[in-house]
A and B are shown apart, each in its own frame.
Chain A
């Protein structure tokens, strides 16, 4: 067993060394550095080679079954792969809501036909997905959503509006919560998949405080969706939605971790402030704040490892993703506050070449949404209080 794993580690190390392009070993500095794939990809040098190489082994989704484009790796092998990727500072080969959110839900709730149809395309990065959840009047109270899907025989007619749809203007397909019954709030929701190129779909990007528009308003005007594209039973979409939200929270919680490849906070602080003759950061109060943060950040790194191990072994509390989401996003906001303090007025430049077009400032503002999207911090605390601590209603 241990011998087999040692062999796997050696082979993995050699393969990664041979196939990971040098550009893909540089730290991720902005959202543009992430590879999203899709029908209209915007690849930077090295991204496509890296994504394709990993996908050829099923390693964009190492623990999915090989029949669906995965690597078929055991939890122990998956962990080794991640460790070896981290060791060479390899970037994530493919960022995808298909991998982090829809895939796990399809594996649990999809029909065999749906799994064979959608999962391999997700694994290869051929289809970029977006998530149609929030609506103007359904935010924290998501189950009050109103986008309607009327029964029209072998298909539904979908009408309504979604909001905060991440990258809807760049996505190829959407996984979308719709109302199929008004009889029951949570029990009248269904989970549909459809092509964003369908007639009647339109998107309008929302300009955010960061100056970017990663989110859209998405409109559906009598969009025809075949019933074969519904996941799980009609009016049981809330089960799928909740399951998927658990995975979304895991993904967002990962933002609290230091990025692979260097530590921009510490490197940035040393660059602007410098070290004193004892080798300490020359601003003692900022140094103390960073050090206290780093203790929490490294402890949370251990927590993430523990959480994943427990999840794979079926030992995690079902509401534990809420804790991970809460802690990870709050940490990430703190990290960027400290990065702004470390960067000083250099980090305030919004357009200059030196600032990478305001990279630091825009990333800082972007993190403010972390504790809102995917369920606010306050919603997570409610869930922890009720489901884990079992405090009275």
Chain B
């Protein structure tokens, strides 16, 4: 990662504090061939989701007998939604709430921990700080799934598997978040401001809460979004940690529904139910993305240019 760290800070500071105005006047200077290629690629990303949306309006009969990219004879979206939420006495709703709980608590917790640690590493010198940060940085490369197995065994011997803690506690640690926040804090929080606060007699904690944290909010939200997506999408950890389906998040629940559907055993599930369940589970995240997308960029321009 050496190469990624060595570039200077001026570019990122520019990106951070004053976003560059659009440098092209509207309507001029557009290239049609370029637009066609870009939009062909955009369709590649969109079409599978369009298919999913259309398929969730069909009953199983139409799913097999009508073309995938057009509506069927029936409009069964409402029936499908009912059968998703009616599956096994409404366990789907339970899974959705679990996902909200796991992702929400983990993401908020992980971002606060990362923000505090990043600020501490960026603005203070203390015994072992460089060594500690190097170890955290090295941990970005550790495949988290390689850790899931020993973590499972440790939790298992402590009797903590099959609890919400088994999902939340491991998800609170985000080495990449600490790295991002360290870079962000170094840029966004001027030392002179901290000094001024100290001269005014503010304690270190108060300086952090009232002065520094406000300046770090965009970076904080970026880390929050990353952590949110990581936990929301996590499949491996809950798969091995949990065995009662009451505690499953949506990912594990949907996978279980799918295998019940394909195996054709006793708990058979209709294709249309799995498809509609998948569709319902991605709607909230996509909506959140559309509203929060500018934060990805603002926090990342600090993190990626420098690091």
Genuine A/B complex: no
Interface residues of B (CB under 8 A from A): none
User: Could you list which residues of chain A lie within 8 angstroms of chain B, going by C-beta atoms?
Assistant: none
